[in-house]
Chains A and B, each alone.
Chain A
Amino acid sequence: MKYTEDHEWLRVEGDLVVVGITAHASEQLGDVVFVELPDVGTTVSKGDEVVVIESVKAASEIAAPLDGEIVEVNPEVADNPGSVNEDPTGAAWFFKMKVADLAALDGLLDEAAYNALIG
């Protein structure tokens, strides 16, 4: 698994990348009550806001971690936003993307680097 400084995790699945948020992020957010997912087929650039997450406290946005295209979203997480708190790195993935260049993942944080970041 790879990580971003914005507390996203990325898992490679064949030629696709699955994206979600880390347990640390979900704890910081508090109880998630709303998730808005992007449309399948959307072309995104790294840094584009693609997912809206609202917790009982505040709204936050998830940015595309890499350039690519959204090819699948997880409707379960929109139907049951609380799953982001229950299983952030498993059932509560947000979207799968076809990235322009899988090698770009090498520039992201590995688990040790991410754990160091969140201290």
Chain B
Amino acid sequence: MSDLKRTALYDLHIELGGKLVPFAGYEMPVQYPMGVLKEHLHTRAAAGLFDVSHMGQILMTAKSGRVEDAALALETLVPVDVLGLKEGRQRYALFTDEDGGILDDLMVANRGDHLFLVVNAACKDHDFAHLKTHLGATCDLGMVTDRALLALQGPAAEMALARLVPDVVDLKFMDVAIRQWDSAELWISRSGYTGEDGFEISVPEKFATSFARRLLAMDEVAPIGLGARDSLRLEAGMCLYGHDIDTTTSPVEGNLTWAIQKARRAGGVREGGFPGAARILAELADGPSRRRVGLRPEGRAPMREGTELFAGTEGGNPIGRITSGGFGPSIEGPMAMGYLPADLTEGTVVYAELRGKRLPAVIAPMPFQPNQYKR
């Protein structure tokens, strides 16, 4: 694993007994001695600390100095209302390509005079080059390389973080703020990838381990690996880029139309003007032919990524495919998401072919586990 990168918390992961695996070019903990199931349940019951330093942190400033210009520039690459994003707020976005596929999903924050983007680890170099190519003439772009990124998630996250940074209690879901801890500047957002209340905290690398240790010393906080991160996000109905969405899926097919605000839709004040607009606006108007849906297998067998879906118990061609699937520890049963013809409604039973057998699964609303955001 010599060519794999390590985060600032690598030594701490080893010390905590983390089982490290290659992930998006990094050695990352997939689990700790507690194990995936208990880590998952601990996060929903108390608070989990995740190292997500492999993700890309990008600063984007318009050469004009006006955040509005940075927002308008970014809008040429995403079907999202960035201009309408108020200072101190964050929003989900998608980089689309000319065919209307998804290049990556990301978070965008308005930090007053510039934008702050958090992108997926596996896509970050590509995303940065994409931004440079298209927006480099009008915007200064910087990949942040000296900061770790931690996520503290769960019902006890607020209480735990407030012991170190008391005024985080003032933040609401999707607020962002810069706060001081010791001599470190923390970039905090009240958001996450678990469906729980919680925070994502960018911390200078040289303070990352001491900051993580302070949190882990609290009774409520346990370290959580990528395994539980995946089952938590799937219960929360959230997409994993490269699995549930990619360049072959449009935002409308991906059931992410909620991320496309009115201003960018047909009749909106800044209609279109993003890559793939023709297809995406047409799909918004006419509906897509297929759509990402939630699935609850009727039996206990997990249905995993790649499993083909059929309309009936015998014969026929596949009508869809599972893109993420596994066991949900909090819902105490299997769960999946995948693509199916858009005319199939919730409650419809489809059949997954598992080890030569067709097993029923019902199209179900997501999230599977209710969100607990503090709005």
Contacts and interface: CB of A to CB of B under 8 A. Distances in A.
Interface of A: 30-31, 33-34, 36, 52, 54, 56-59, 82
Contacts, number: 39
Contacts of A33: 37, 300, 302, 327, 334
Interface residues of B, number: 17
A36 B227 contact: no
B304 interface: yes
Contact of B227 (A34, A52, A54, A57): A57
Given A34-B334, A52-B355, A59 B35 contact: no
A82 B304 CA distance: 19
Nearest to A79: B300
Interface of B: 31, 35-38, 40, 227, 231, 300-302, 304, 326-327, 329, 334, 355
A52 B357 CA distance: 13
A52 B35 contact: no
Of B38, B40, B300, B304, most buried by chain A (CB within 10 Å of CB) is: B300
| Main secondary structure on B side of the interface with A | mixed
Given A54-B327, A56-B231, A56-B326, A30 B301 contact: no
Contacts of B231: 56
Contacts of B227: 30, 56-57
Of B31, B35, B327, B355, most buried by chain A (CB within 10 Å of CB) is: B327
Given A52-B355, A56-B227, A56-B327, A31 B301 contact: no
A31 B36 CA distance: 7
A31 B35 contact: yes
Nearest to A78: B300
Contacts of A58: 304
Contacts of B38: 31
Given A33-B327, A34-B327, A34-B334, A57 B36 contact: yes
Nearest to B231: A56
A77 to B, nearest CB: 12
A34 B35 contact: no
B43 to A, nearest CB: 14
Contacts of A30: 31, 35-37, 227
Given A56-B227, A57-B36, 14 more contacts: A30-B227, A33-B37, A33-B302, A33-B334, A34-B301, A34-B302, A34-B327, A52-B301, A52-B355, A54-B302, A56-B37, A56-B231, A58-B304, A82-B37
